[in-house]
Amino acid sequence: MGLSVLERFKNNWFLIGIIVVITLANVEPSIGNKGGPLMPEITVKYLAVSFIFFNSGLSLKTEDLKSAFLHVKLHLFVQCFTLMFVPCIVWMLVQILLETPIDEWLLKGLLVVGCMPPPVSSAVILTKAVGGNEAAAIFNSAFGSFLGIIVTPLLLLMFLGSSSTVPFSSIFTQLSMTVVMPLIFGQVLRIYIKGWLERTQPPFGQVGKAVLLLIIYSTFCETFSNTALQIDHHSLLAIAVIVLLLQVLLLLLTWSVSQWKSLGYSPADTVAIMFCSTHKSLTLGIPMLKIVFAGYEHLSIISIPLLIYHPTQILLGGLLIDRVKQWMLAAQKLRSAPQSTLPS
């Protein structure tokens, strides 16, 4: 029984960590607030964010993407769905929800979710678990991360505007310093130490998540230091339900559309499309929010829907693995059956 509990903790330590750091931030917010012992204006704003993207650059296996590169039609579908269709559909949903009593800043947080790029790992892990087109999932996760560095800040500024305290030039200067340069440096360094990385297989994902907890902690310290900010619990519950329903809708939509014969996707392609098109990156998203909305007093509140979306996509994906795998195998068997055995 002890081993079972330990294994559960090991598998879910990051989700538990999010709850712990938010609780700690609530208990004593001055530690992680500006001017506090943690000095987030340096350790978080520059060091932690830069490390997250250096870590991403070092871990992205772009040399393994050549086999999937030529599947242009699939990549175009995933990237357009993720960075064009989803932001627009979420924006329309938010316009309707603004007429309800749901907290306005949590609804803006939904817009934030819509603007996020695909994650580096979760979509690949789920695609692999099902037996889908793993190469396509790797390509779209990696390419989406690179594309998101440019597109996501632009989408955030377009849908939400900038915080009045930070001019556009400063935003893009910091994006270059703490996102683009560390990512490129990580990729260049990977070329020289590729052999060592393959032998040792460093835990990039775990290290990145640990640093991300520091960023989340600092963000909520700022929130709890501002006693004027209040979070409506009914709005929070409503957002959690909306996030779940939104994910289910997007999964059903990608599953249905990607089966159109005119698109020519295989069942394995459909699996990759489902997960890559609907998943959103927390690892890249939170640091970007810290840059684009530096000084925003509602920063932590607009980040809450993304913090909800992340575990939901993993849990929902995990629940769907067996069902999606059964569908994929049945669809592949049907496709490979001789034409004469198919019903007329």
Calpha distance 88→72 (Å, rounded) = 23
Average pLDDT for residues 152-178, to the nearest whole number? 71
Higher pLDDT, 257 or 186: 257
Calpha distance 324→129 (Å, rounded) = 10
Q: How confident is the model at residue 164 (pLDDT cuts 50, 70, 90)?
A: very low
Average pLDDT for residues 169-194, to the nearest whole number? 80
Which residues, including other chains, have CB under 8 Å from residue 45's CB and lie 6 or more apart? 178, 290, 294
Is the pLDDT at 227 greater than 90, yes or no?
Answer: no
In this prediction, residue 69 carries a pLDDT of 67
Calpha distance 290→51 (Å, rounded) = 14
Higher pLDDT, 155 or 219: 155
Higher pLDDT, 312 or 224: 312
Q: pLDDT per residue over 326-335, tens digit each?
A: 999 999 888 8
Q: pLDDT per residue over 198-208, tens digit each?
A: 888 888 878 87
Is the pLDDT at 53 greater than 80, yes or no?
Answer: no
Tokens 């849990």: give the residue: 315
Average pLDDT for residues 225-231, to the nearest whole number? 67
Residues 238/98, Cβ–Cβ less than 8 Å: no
Residues 81/254, Cβ–Cβ less than 8 Å: yes
Higher pLDDT, 322 or 164: 322
Is the pLDDT at 79 greater than 90, yes or no?
Answer: yes
Q: How confident is the model at residue 1 (pLDDT cuts 50, 70, 90)?
A: very low
What whole-number percentage of the chain has pLDDT above 90? 27
Is the pLDDT at 71 greater than 70, yes or no?
Answer: yes
Which structure tokens are listed for 164? 């009045």
Greatest mean pLDDT among 50-59, 138-147, 276-285, 288-297 lies in 276-285
Is the pLDDT at 311 greater than 50, yes or no?
Answer: yes
Helical residues (DSSP H) of the chain, grouped into ranges: 2-11, 13-27, 40-42, 49-59, 66-69, 72-80, 86-97, 104-115, 122-130, 134-160, 168-175, 181-200, 204-225, 233-257, 267-278, 282-292, 299-336
Is the pLDDT at 8 greater than 80, yes or no?
Answer: no
Average pLDDT for residues 31-59, to the nearest whole number? 82
Average pLDDT for residues 222-232, to the nearest whole number? 70
Higher pLDDT, 90 or 25: 90
In this prediction, residue 171 carries a pLDDT of 63
Is the pLDDT at 344 greater than 50, yes or no?
Answer: no
In this prediction, residue 120 carries a pLDDT of 66
Which structure tokens are listed for 48? 């932690």
Higher pLDDT, 296 or 55: 55
Average pLDDT, the chain: 83
